[in-house]
Structure 1
């Protein structure tokens, strides 16, 4: 942790430059494995490494922005299938983790807030909550300083059973407990041998013309990145009718932003020392009396910006 000498002053808010993107994660050695219930998972292949090449990021960003009726991105097989098979196995591992959600608008089951996750499911969320993965999401969406939610409010494990529907809706604007702005949801489906005739596909709706424009089948290994916005209406209105009674399953996580992100609020981000030298107190007073733009220029010129 760095410490910066400061007095408890509160000058005006200053915009901070966006840190450089890091689309290339530091993958572990090829010989590095994690073992879950006897299944060896190569760490370097848990996520498709080709997704992080700069040219691929640019291509995916264009694809996302071209999505209709609003920006979204559908990707297949970006996670190692053995990892997702283990995650699927764990849906029945902890029955105490579930809560039933039933209303005239939806019928579904979700994991509770702050669930105790089994190993493979925890690994999946560790991956998508990692700094390098979030940097990738920021590069795709253009939203800097994304924040994850380890308690998985609104996310976690999702399951729909026979007859279940979810009316067309927009997701919540802000995290109920943290007050952070909802920026996007990231969903991976876990349904093997899916038949579109069973219903329950994800529908992306054009609110203005009151019609479904895009349908996404919840097939095993398919992931959708769905930025949140005023027109991002979606749902699955056709009741699930799988012939063998199988459920529709997915794992989901939301990402957020803070209204203070990228802004310097005085010296609130620095340590405050109880005792300071006279010369440093004088500097702090000079900083208070000098236009903030001067100090930002000085920091840039000295390489401290």
Structure 2
């Protein structure tokens, strides 16, 4: 399945990975054998609205299928490949990151099908797996587009810092071409995304197809600040200058940008409210426990209340934390992450 050319060039890919800027990555063309990659494209899932429910609970223009082995035979073979120790050893050789762990849940991964008009704002990914709490270390993306042009947008872009002005930000663009793999490290400054897809009329039937997988480790030598996925909205186009007379397309673009920011703020406020209520309830319980006396009967009741407090709807809390993986501020999710890790440590004792 893996192209022999890829295996023979591992040392060269290792060199490219470690020399890359603005952070470590490598681009590998002809990643799989042509026959196997053709089967992946042939069995690629059609766009389904049920797979395109976004974080605002509306049908978006990106469909994701995470149940990779269920897609078809080629994807079952792919799933077996990416979790095999031989393949993981090759990825470790390129990156120098040892002890890589495959993610059977494909959280955030699987097949990605992006329609015309879809974009992905520059972002850094969540740093820890929402179920296992393992450290996220690498993204592996394989593109499945036989036709693609730079004028169509949708090329993955690596940023030095998207908060800088465009002339200061260091941006590397890579076209999402058929059988091209991109492997890059994830940490606090691995900013990446892609500009809006704008297909010409004669190619409106196409979509941006890819397969994504993320690797983890139990620990990491260089600590990172824990955070969920953090997005930075793109700056206004350079054409928006003093004296510009807005046309219909300009107005639409501005409305879309304002709409995205409004959705972001709505999610942020909802998150703050929910977490504040949860933490306030915990604080009230702790205060009641502190008020208990030291008599045997009271101690028994205190122990019972402690157990009730520690078992408060854990599944609901973990589900909420997982939903917050797409929020935009690690400062907000950090307290709940600490609580989550404490519960998991308690359960392993």
Task: Measure how far apart 1:165 and its partner are.
Answer: 0.5
The CA distance in 1 between the partners of 2:38 and 2:77, in whole Å, is 13
Alpha-carbon separation, structure 2, partners of 1:175 and 1:90: 28
Equivalent residue, structure 2, for 1:213 = 171
Taking only aligned residues, the RMSD between alpha carbons, in angstroms, comes to 2.6
Report the CA distance between 1:135 and its aligned residue. Answer: 0.5
Structure 1: 4+ residue segments shifted above 3 A: 50-53, 92-97, 112-115
Q: Structure 1 209/94 Cα, relative in aligned 2: closer, same or farther at 3 Å?
A: closer
SS in 2 for 1:144: coil
- So what's the TM-score if we normalise by structure 1? 0.64
1:171-220 Cα shifts (integer Å, max 9, x gaps):
11011111111000100000012111111111111117452521000010
Structure 2: distance between partners of 1:83 and 1:187: 16
* Distance of aligned partners of 1:77 and 1:52 in 2 relative to their CA distance in 1, 3 Å threshold: closer
Q: Is the 8 A contact 1:68 1:213 kept in 2?
A: no
Partner of 1:47: 2
Q: Which has the higher contact order (CA 8 A, sep 6+)?
A: 1
Encode CA deviations 1:4-32: one digit per residue, 9 max, x unaligned: xxxxxxxxxxxxxxxxxxxxxxxxxxxxx
Residues 1:250 and 2:203 aligned together: no
SS in 1 for 2:215: strand
Tell me what 2:192 maps to: 234
CA 1:51–1:77: 2 relative to 1, 3 Å: closer
Q: Distance in 1 between matches of 2:172 and 2:189?
A: 14
For structure 2, list consecutive stretches of 5 or more residues without a partner in the other structure: 222-349
Higher mean C-alpha deviation, range 234-243 or range 153-162: 234-243
Q: Tell me, in whole angstroms, the C-alpha distance in 2 between the residues paired with 1:236 and 1:107.
A: 14
Figure out how many residues of one structure are paired with residues of the other and give that number.
213
Question: Separation in 1 of the partners of 2:55 and 2:92?
Answer: 34
Query: What SS does the corresponding residue of 1:139 show, helix, strand or coil?
Result: helix
Residue 63 of structure 2 corresponds to 109
Query: Tell me, which stretches of 5 or more residues in structure 1 are unaligned?
Result: 1-45, 262-305
How high is the TM-score relative to the length of structure 2?
A: 0.56
CA distance in 2, matches of 1:108, 1:71: 27
